[in-house]
Chain A
Amino acid sequence: MKKIIYYMLLYIFLSIIQFVFGKYLSVFGIFPNFILIVVAYLGVSKKIINAQVMGFLFGLTWDAFSTDIFGTRALMFTVIGYLIGKFCRDFDMNKILVQFLVILLANIVYWLGFGLIHFTILGNESYMTSFIDGVCCVKVIVTVLIAPIVFHVFGMINKI
């Protein structure tokens, strides 16, 4: 029961941060991808099922709010939750460098997958190269830089 409440609160809290604050606090459309960081965190510290289900729900919510192809983010967050849970579980996540690396890899998977789906479905090549362009790069860097703080905060919450 506690777990369900925890995940429900996490869902509401993170949705508010990403979708409500994201609108007002973004600078030139750049706002850290908190959902990606949390999904990665869940993948590393909790069960893989939790990470992928939460990733799927977050992605579905984000898809509902966006005008992109419905289901893209749900798919990508599920994949990220699963992959990180499978392969990064043995990493020492207390090291900041490892956290950077994991979030960077998650970002690469996210953007490449996103681009690939858009390219396949819509034939839009610009999404494939969007990972390299300025705004996207800054988004990734900001997300990577903010990751240790989020990891630290969630670590504290878990201790409580």
Chain B
Amino acid sequence: MVKLKELTCKCVYGLCLAPDFYKMCQRRKVKYEDLIFLVLILVGFSFIIGKFTSTVRLIKNLVYCFSYSNLSLIDCVFQSSENFTNDIRSIVYMRHENIVYKQKNQELTDKLRNYDIMAKEYDNLSKLLKLTKVKNTVSVFARISIRDPDKWYRWFIINKGERDGLYNELPVLMFNKKKDTLCAVGRIVGTYGSSSKVALITNTAHALPVEIKNKGVNCLAEGFDSNLLRITYIPRDADVKVGDEVVVSELSSVFQKDTPVGVVTDVSEKSSLDFKTATAKVFFEIDTIYEAIILVPKMKI
């Protein structure tokens, strides 16, 4: 039998005269089989691993289309291929964005380095001049854990407390995406171990010294349980218009000066002879607020 096989082998590979050539062919065949097996297994596994990716969906739809073709399926194939190209496009965009972010990151790192040098110089100078250092602040990020619907515009509870270095009368702010800045939300009125109570600026019991930005008009922002603030004590002759920005004034003991508060939506002149009132819409997104930033001053040196 083996001889017959050897003969066949010799016939097939006419030039072969070596007796071990058949065995070599067999070994090569076995390797070839194993290689194909490995390739098929890898393809199968890649299908399984990428089960929900658009590439696999495209292949699935193509196979289905060849086996059982109709219009809707062809449409499906086109949709899948569109998704696939969209994915590739998004990868390219992401790569581009990544490059831009890397550049920005580099710029910011350079700035930070400059800042560190400046801070050192400042430290040295303040030591030489024996000046009291201006207090720096540390940002504490907290999530809102409790918010009573009945007191929606009055207060909420955050998941950071005394253990995180918080105490009463600290300013609570929120990042406004549209304005790309931090805006006033409220102040801490009660601290516990791992939570704190925050009174919102829209709370009726809350009044905040504010000013109209770039106009130097000092007034008071009072909450009245809505997303609006009542701006009172505006001098009668002050030039306040709808659209003017309201910022925290220097008189505030809680917030830093010029922290954005809201924008004037209405001005009324009827209430008093000496002053007029206005209504302002708060900058922080009162209904979608989930996280807050608390600025904790560092110790004075």
A-B contacts, 23 listed (Cβ < 8 Å):
A15-B67, A52-B37, A53-B36, A53-B40, A56-B40, A61-B63, A64-B60, A64-B61, A65-B64, A70-B48, A70-B51, A70-B60, A71-B43, A71-B47, A71-B48, A71-B51, A71-B56, A72-B44, A75-B44, A75-B45, A79-B41, A82-B33, A82-B37
Give complex CA distance A65, B68 in Å. Answer: 9
Task: List residues 29-49 of chain A with CB under 8 A from any CB of chain B.
Answer: 47-49
Residues of B within 8 A of A48 (CB): 33, 37
How many whole Å from A58's CB to the nearest CB in chain B? 11
A-B contact count (CB 8 A): 70
Does chain B have a CB within 8 A of A103?
A: no
- Rounded to whole Å, the gap between the CB of A8 and the closest CB of chain B is 13
Q: Is B46 touching A71 in the complex (CB atoms < 8 A)? A: yes
Any chain B CB within 8 A of the CB of A107? no
- B48–A60 CB distance below 8 A: no
Task: Flag if A78 contacts B51 (CB, 8 Å).
Answer: no
Quick check: B47 and A74 within 8 Å, CB to CB?
yes
In whole angstroms, how far apart are the Cα atoms of A71 and B45 in the complex? 7
Interface size class of B (residues with CB under 8 A): 20 to 34
Which A residues lie within 8 Å of B44 (CB)?
A: 56, 59, 71-72, 74-75, 78
Judge if B192 is at the interface, Cβ distance under 8 Å: no
CB-CB nearest in chain A for B44:
A75
Question: Would you give the shortest CB distance from B2 to chain A, in whole angstroms?
Answer: 15
* Contact residues in A for B67 (Cβ distance below 8 Å): 15, 19, 61, 64-65
CB distance from A17 to the nearest CB of B (A): 14
Question: Which chain A residues lie closer than 8 Å to B47 at the CB level?
Answer: 63, 70-71, 74-75
Any chain A CB within 8 A of the CB of B32?
A: yes
Q: Mostly helix, strand, loop or mixed at chain B's interface?
A: helix
A78 touches B48 (CB 8 A): no
In order of increasing CB-CB distance, the 6 nearest A-B pairs are A71-B47, A75-B44, A64-B63, A64-B64, A71-B48, A78-B40
A160 contacts chain B at the CB level, 8 A cutoff: no
Chain A 85-108 per-residue mask, 1 if CB under 8 angstroms from chain B, else 0 = 100000000000000000000000
B172-212 near A? 1/0 per residue, CB < 8 Å: 00000000000000000000000000000000000000000
Q: Inside 8 A of B36's CB, which chain A residues have their CB?
A: 49, 52-53
A100 → chain B closest CB, angstroms: 26
Across-interface contacts of A49 in B (CB, < 8 A): 32-33, 36
Q: How far is the CA of A48 from the CA of B41 in the complex (A)?
A: 14
Interface members, chain B 1-57 (any A CB < 8 Å): 32-33, 36-37, 40-41, 43-48, 51, 56
CA distance A98 to B224 in the complex (A): 88
**A64 vs B62: C-alpha distance in the bound complex, in angstroms?**
9
Look across to chain A and name the residue whose beta carbon is closest to the beta carbon of B32.
Answer: A49
Is the C-beta of A149 less than 8 angstroms from some C-beta in chain B?
A: no
A60 lies within 8 A of B63 (CB): yes
Least CB distance from A120 to B in Å reads 9
Shortest CB-to-CB span from A115 to chain B, Å, is 14
Q: Are A75 and B48 in contact (CB under 8 A)?
A: yes
Once bound together, how far apart are the Cα atoms of A48 and B37, in whole Å? 9
- Expressed in whole angstroms, the minimum distance between the Cβ of B33 and any Cβ of chain A is 5
Q: A53-B40, A121-B48 are in contact. Are A63 and B32 (CB under 8 A)?
A: no
A117 to B37, CA, bound (A): 18
Rounded to whole Å, the gap between the CB of A46 and the closest CB of chain B is 12
Docked Cα-Cα span, A75 to B42, in Å, equals 9
| Interchain nearest-CB distance for B52 vs A (Å) | 9
- Other A-B pairs, 12, CB within 8 Å; known A65-B67, A75-B48, A121-B48: A19-B67, A47-B33, A49-B33, A52-B40, A53-B40, A63-B63, A64-B61, A70-B60, A71-B43, A71-B56, A72-B44, A117-B48
Closest chain B residue to A61, Cβ basis: B67
A9: interface (CB < 8 Å): no
Give Cα distance in the complex from A19 to B67, angstroms: 10
Tell me which residues from 60 to 74 in chain B have a Cβ below 8 Å from any Cβ of chain A. Answer: 60-61, 63-64, 67-68
